């Protein structure tokens, strides 16, 4: 009879252990998944390259557009004032992206930081009305230009938030739909600008 009591007791302990396992295993798995890194995907949903941490752009003199990067989101192109083919492509992408935002397009401005003499002024006025051209030349503009990553800058469009923080770099040669999607997400999530 004692053997049968031992068997019943062992069976009861197995049943309790099984029930405890049914409740504890999901908790342990959830803990490991939440705090572990092995299961997380490597990429994000953004199409451009995030600039981490976001870089606050320095204020420059009024002659260089001191208030340019405040109060609205900015699509920024940095390039020579002669505006070659890559410049024209980037400005076209910026213009079309802003227009595609529809009702939110008033929240976004387009900025061209001209690092040289603006010899394409007539083209810019004719093809890109509303484009803010900032003549970023001289020593006063150097701190501003240093904040924009220099690698392949001629094909880059930058996103600056309404607080003046450089946030993202987008390659103007890639599908412009990605830039519009990134901006749409930012504008949807943002209460400023």
Span 39-88, pLDDT tens digits: 666 666 788 898 989 999 887 654 545 568 888 999 999 998 889 999 99
Structure token digits, residue 129: 């009305």
Per-residue tens of pLDDT for the chain, all 193 residues: 556 888 888 899 999 999 998 999 999 888 888 887 766 666 667 888 989 899 998 876 545 455 688 889 999 999 988 899 999 999 999 999 999 999 999 999 999 998 888 778 889 999 999 999 888 887 778 888 889 988 888 899 999 999 999 999 999 999 999 999 999 999 999 888 7
Tell how strand 108-114 and strand 132-135 pair up: parallel
Q: Is 180 in contact with 101 (CB distance < 8 Å)?
A: yes
| CA–CA gap between residue 162 and residue 128 (Å, rounded) | 22
Residue 175 phi/psi, 5-degree rounding, is -60, 120
| CA–CA gap between residue 87 and residue 8 (Å, rounded) | 82
| CA–CA gap between residue 97 and residue 175 (Å, rounded) | 11
| CA–CA gap between residue 30 and residue 7 (Å, rounded) | 35
Q: What's the predicted TM-score (pTM) here?
A: 0.75
Structure token digits, residue 78: 């940095």
Sequence-ordered list of residues with C-beta below 8 angstroms from that of 77, at least 6 positions apart, any chain: 87, 90, 91, 94, 110, 111, 112, 113, 156, 157, 158, 172
Structure token digits, residue 1: 């009879």
| CA–CA gap between residue 146 and residue 141 (Å, rounded) | 9
């Amino acid at each position: 009879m004692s053997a049968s009591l031992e068997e019943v007791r062992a069976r009861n302990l197995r049943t309790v252990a099984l029930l405890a396992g049914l409740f504890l295993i999901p908790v342990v798995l959830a803990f490991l998944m939440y705090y572990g890194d092995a299961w997380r995907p490597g990429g994000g949903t953004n199409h451009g390259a995030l600039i981490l941490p976001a870089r606050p752009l320095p204020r420059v003199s009024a002659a260089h557009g001191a208030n340019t990067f405040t109060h609205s989101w900015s699509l920024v192109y940095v390039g020579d004032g002669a505006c070659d083919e890559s410049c024209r492509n980037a400005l076209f992408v910026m213009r079309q992206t802003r227009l595609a935002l529809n009702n939110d397009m008033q929240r976004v401005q387009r900025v061209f930081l001209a690092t040289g003499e603006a010899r394409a002024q007539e083209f810019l006025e004719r093809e890109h009305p509303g484009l803010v051209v900032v003549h970023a030349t001289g020593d006063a503009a150097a701190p501003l230009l240093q904040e924009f990553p220099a690698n392949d800058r001629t094909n880059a469009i930058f996103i600056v938030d309404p607080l003046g923080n450089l946030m993202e770099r987008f390659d103007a040669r890639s599908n412009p739909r990605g830039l519009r999607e990134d901006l749409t997400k930012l504008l949807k999530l943002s209460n400023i600008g």
